[in-house]
Amino acid sequence: MLNFYNAQIESVSLHRVGNKNKNEGVFLSNEPYSLNDEMSGLLKEYFFKPFREKEENYFKFSNEVDVEFNEIYKAVSEIFTEPSKAHLISKNITTHLFEQSNHPHIKSGEVYVVHFSDLVLDNQKVDGVGIFKSELKHDFLQFEEKSENLEIIIRQGININKLDKGCLIFNEAKEEGYKVLSVDSNRYDAKYWLENFLGLEPLSDDNFKTKNYLKFCQNFAKDVVLPAEDKQQEVLFMNRAVNHFAKNDAFEESNFLNEVIENPELIPEFKHYKVEKGPKFSIEDVSNFDIANKAVSDARKKIKNVINLDTNVQIKMDFINPESAEKFVEKGWDEERQMYYYLVYFNKEQKS
């Protein structure tokens, strides 16, 4: 769980990086940027806003040989150890970004390297380093009084309501490659920011395992349960799966299978599907983990629990009360009409 409310900006270094492929250069400021209270408030909102709105999908720094060889990992570690060197190190970070900026689609932009204090991660105060880049310029209007008329002046600038690229590195779990969040609003070259520059890979924590296991279950429901049974059973399977995660603190796969899969013939199908598709979701070796409640809540919002019929009728199943979906909805076949039907029982219609 993240909290930015009491976060403070200890230092900001501002540079500009161009596209190396287009022979654009790099501009490195001599001194850190001098902040006042108003600018500090605006920049904090600009930097933090996308991370409040985004799922907490953590990454960690990595390298083929050892994480110590990751350039950004080394630079950030130096800032955490000697904050007084943050500006000098920010130049190295920006130069490293410039070296990766050789794809013709990569846009020039401003780079901000920020040292934060009092970030709250999982109820613990930590310091952090933010690396942000603004790319897209927008037209805006200014007005100026000239003589007896009001004149319009067109300027260009960045939209502080939308960060183009950014990452937050928390001074936590250094040996494993730190805990990192990343955002990229302009994904014209997905590898440029996340892989080539930062060198990140997903952090396989409980949140990651919970989220990916539920995504795997959703695919199993679509690829196996639906063809073997019907749409109602596909929805009910995911209904039971989500509720199993919601009511347990820890996940144990055999308990999950016995409780969630009602048709015993589908259990070996599930195990076979996991061997085949598990690597895609990074859960091939995952069978026990602590369940992350936030990941379950996020999954519940995204999973579709609607049966769409070709007669332009929708039946929405209730994830909160899974028993009602099985108790009060029946599927049948009408010989006279040669059509399937759903029979729905209820006491009264609820007022909207």
State pLDDT tens for residues 174-228. Answer: 999 999 999 998 777 778 999 999 999 988 888 899 999 999 999 999 999 888 8
The residues near 123 (Cβ < 8 Å, ≥ 6 apart) are 1
Phi-psi region of 54 (alpha: psi -120 to 50; beta: other; left: phi over 0): beta
The DSSP 8-state label assigned to residue 137 in this structure reads -
Record the pTM.
0.77
**In the predicted model, is pLDDT for residue 62 greater than 60?**
yes
**Alpha carbon 82 to chain centroid, angstroms:** 30
Residue corresponding to tokens 């598709």: 277
DSSP bridge pairs for 182: 167
pLDDT in tens, 321-351: 556 666 777 778 888 888 888 888 878 877 7
Query: Which CA distances in Å does 318 have to 219, 240, 247, 261, 328?
Result: 20, 11, 16, 18, 11
Q: Going along the chain, which residue ranges are E strands?
A: 2-3, 8-17, 26-28, 59-61, 109-121, 124-134, 138-146, 149-157, 165-170, 179-184, 200-202, 250-252, 288-290, 306-308, 314-316, 329-334, 339-344
**In 3D, which of 12, 27, 195 has the Cα closest to residue 110?**
27
**Contact call for residues 33 and 113 (beta carbons, < 8 A):** no
Mean pLDDT of all residues belonging to the chain? 89
Our CA dihedral for 100, 103, 108, 110, rounded to 10 degrees, sits at -30
- Tokens found for residue 343: 């029979």
**In 3D, which of 294, 300, 163 has the Cα closest to residue 241?**
300
- % pLDDT > 70, the chain: 96
DSSP strand pairing (149-157 vs 138-146): antiparallel
Count of beta carbons in the 10 Å neighbourhood of residue 202: 14
The full set of domain ranges for the chain reads 2-203, 207-344
Higher pLDDT, 235 or 222: 222
Query: Which CA distances in Å does 9 have to 48, 114, 129, 257?
Result: 12, 7, 10, 48
Count of beta carbons in the 10 Å neighbourhood of residue 278: 17
The answer to which of 13-17, 53-57, 58-62, 97-101 has the lowest mean pLDDT is: 53-57
The DSSP 8-state label assigned to residue 22 in this structure reads G
Q: What is the mean pLDDT of residues 240-261?
A: 92
The answer to which of 159-173, 309-323, 335-349 has the lowest mean pLDDT is: 309-323
**CA 72 to CA 90: how far, in whole Å?**
10
**CA 136 to CA 184: how far, in whole Å?**
12
At 321 the pLDDT is 59
**Contact call for residues 98 and 18 (beta carbons, < 8 A):** yes
**CA 151 to CA 294: how far, in whole Å?**
51
